[in-house]
Structure 1
């Protein structure tokens, strides 16, 4: 079992609103291979699957903001990490004795430089109708969501790898249920999960490009019997962009099913069962071999800890996170390129966000700047391509108040930004160059992307010591030179 130490020093450490852009008319969607059509009847209502701050002053919004849009048309390695020496908890909280002001006569005192306030952003329209189920493909080329309202919902595919985003509706003869799940694949097809008459059914949707007009093709994949299962949900897209998986939670164990890809050539295939109730689902490598799950042991102590499952071998399961003897430890996000891990744990005495590096001997760190948001912030995107540089990876998170938080380990500062109007589902994608792309939908711009960058941390200035003033000497007592 991998364990993490508690590092001394006071902190427990485990071992802009979106503009309304204009754009050209929607281009035709890519033509995908056609397949068998049809969908089962008699879909029944099912409960929706389970879903996966004060403290710091808001930072100046100095990051660049832009928008683009268009009309609708083999065993796990050890977990520990901190590649930099951070003095979390070694000093008292700011306010004990009062912060040092500039010119206070203390040599070496560091104070942030004044940063001019950015110009106000233009107002934006109110958010549009409710949208649910926005899911990005592994490479960010496509996305899928349920559009519409109430009982008139339909799948919609977004294309994001072109000069500007555009959307292609994928309606069927019947509207979709609100609890239907979608997953975009890198080839442009959309996987849909429906609950129909006691079964969980899966199918691939694609625009067929028929001569008679836009038409949605459907390739039925098969299903999983719902008997004995409390819930079934799709996992995040596999790194290869083609394979997809689902978790089926039963009474005493959780089954992992492969739905598409080489392992599911003949339909959905059960790969393994993990004891306990599993949630989450984070890929730890680019090959899609190791999957991390947050497992709750209902038959044991009832605590939740992260385990790793080797899907390419014998589907063996091994512990990945155990920070404290009685702690709840969950893996929230991982970057296979740098090894950066984002963790939530109550090992420091309260739920805190921490970070580490996969396979590093260093302990997990719990930055003080993330303490105010540690209980409810949800990281959703990490900057890729930062090989061997986890400290420089930019992380985006959805804050408890609905805003966006931007953070890098090297900065030791959390930037808080307002969420763009119409932001979809708290999702987004980083580019290798450090640009965060957030999808949004508004009545006048039903398919758009806002681009953000991490602002610069205000530089520190050093306050020189002030020399003590010399007592004036009366003229009568002044020494007379030359006598």
Structure 2
């Protein structure tokens, strides 16, 4: 791949403990922290005057890769693998120690099954997991049910990702690999129905990376414009307009991962700010982009950023959690300036995005503003209409 690579946003501590999961509203975060050689869960409170962390160690250190997820009430869901059983519990601070409420366990259905937590659901009262087997995938309710883990829906094919499409936590989008191709489908968890969402071209691999519930903005990965080379694109939930693949989102020789969309832009998906993590030969940084623009704003990531974690406020402030020796629990707030025509100026210092010229901005990002935003469309939890390959917009 010569243009860029695209990753699906991480949903927890799958990387051995350095990951960080945030509630849908950004009020709490959870991660595995390291004390010497021992891992332990840690909850962050982010909606107060100052962020602070509460350690939640158990009776013994956790295994690297143990998954944790914050709940809306401040408790932390933990997913442990004990022999051939996936065990779930809720952790909470109690005096000097850690309280633990067992939720039950799920037996490994078959060897080789991958069992992972899905991204935090809206509302924060329930948590879900995905069990991916050789021929099918099963969605489990693992917290918030009445009788422990509950098997909700089985989807033919191997699924990955996981994006919520409504505020009730009912419509779940999954990227399903079936018949050699990957397409995004929607699982209605209430009626246990599966329907197509993304089918841009018959022979393309199409994935949904992020969705904004207020505006209906979708961030998409597809190789429809250039087979075998996934590109970042955007569409609007329920729209009949074609999926667009802006040239400015192709960062040469880098991995680009969208991780947060600005909420509150009702009926104005083209005005949503999108935060992207960029990883390249010279390190990582943050980019901010809006669909109405054909230019990205490059910003240096804060030192110690828990890469891939972040949340937008409705006022357009990007909040990035970070950890350093001096600040064990910190949140950097970035406000992206905008030019007179609504295009953000490049505010990254020289060398923040090395390109050999000292200017710090790849040539692919230096483009004129796109004329005219897309017509806004009301978001609703129905499949995105098919966008034939001939109608793709790649500029």
- Under a length normalisation based on structure 1, what TM-score does the superposition of the two structures give? 0.65
Note if 1:274 corresponds to 2:274.
no
Select the residue among 339, 345, 352 that pairs with 1:457. Answer: 339
| Match runs of 1:79-158 below 5 Å | 131-148=17-34, 151-158=37-44
Q: Contact 2:10/2:19 (CA < 8 Å) preserved in 1?
A: no
CA shift at 1:133, angstroms? 2.8
Select the residue among 357, 361, 374 that pairs with 2:240. Answer: 361
Mapped partners of 1:226, 1:131: distance in 2:
23
CA shift at 1:51, angstroms? 5.8
Select the residue among 84, 87, 90 that pairs with 1:198. Answer: 84
Aligned to 1:293: 174
| Match runs of 1:12-411 below 5 Å | 131-148=17-34, 151-209=37-95, 214-228=96-110, 229-261=112-144, 264-297=145-178, 300=179, 302-313=180-191, 315-349=192-226, 350-372=229-251, 376-401=255-280, 402-411=284-293
Q: Contact 2:317/2:333 (CA < 8 Å) preserved in 1?
A: yes
- Over 3 Å counting, the alpha-carbon distance change for 1:281 and 1:373 in structure 2 is farther
CA shift at 1:230, angstroms? 1.9
Aligned to 2:382: none
CA shift at 1:372, angstroms? 2.6
Moved over 6 A (4+): none
Moved more, 178-187 or 144-153: 144-153
Cα distance per residue 1:290-313 (max 9 Å; x no partner) = 00000001xx2x111100000122
Mapped partners of 2:238, 2:104: distance in 1:
39
Q: Contact 1:344/1:374 (CA < 8 Å) preserved in 2?
A: no
Mapped partners of 2:253, 2:262: distance in 1:
20
Note if 1:416 corresponds to 2:292.
no
Mapped partners of 1:373, 1:241: distance in 2:
38
Which has the larger strand fraction?
2
- Over 3 Å counting, the alpha-carbon distance change for 1:374 and 1:312 in structure 2 is farther
User: For the aligned residues, what is the CA RMSD?
Assistant: 1.8
Mapped partners of 1:272, 1:418: distance in 2:
42
Mapped partners of 2:264, 2:10: distance in 1:
29
Per the alignment, in what secondary structure is the counterpart of residue 198 of structure 2?
coil
Per the alignment, in what secondary structure is the counterpart of residue 214 of structure 2?
coil
- Under a length normalisation based on structure 2, what TM-score does the superposition of the two structures give? 0.79
- Over 3 Å counting, the alpha-carbon distance change for 1:428 and 1:338 in structure 2 is same
CA shift at 1:376, angstroms? 2.5
Question: Is there any run of 5+ residues in structure 1 with no aligned partner, and where?
Answer: 1-49, 53-129, 461-483
**Higher RCO, 1 vs 2 (CA within 8 Å, ≥6 residues apart):** 1
**Larger C-alpha radius of gyration, 1 or 2?**
1
The alignment of Structure 1 onto Structure 2 pairs a total of residues equal to 324
CA shift at 1:151, angstroms? 3.9
Per the alignment, in what secondary structure is the counterpart of residue 251 of structure 2?
helix
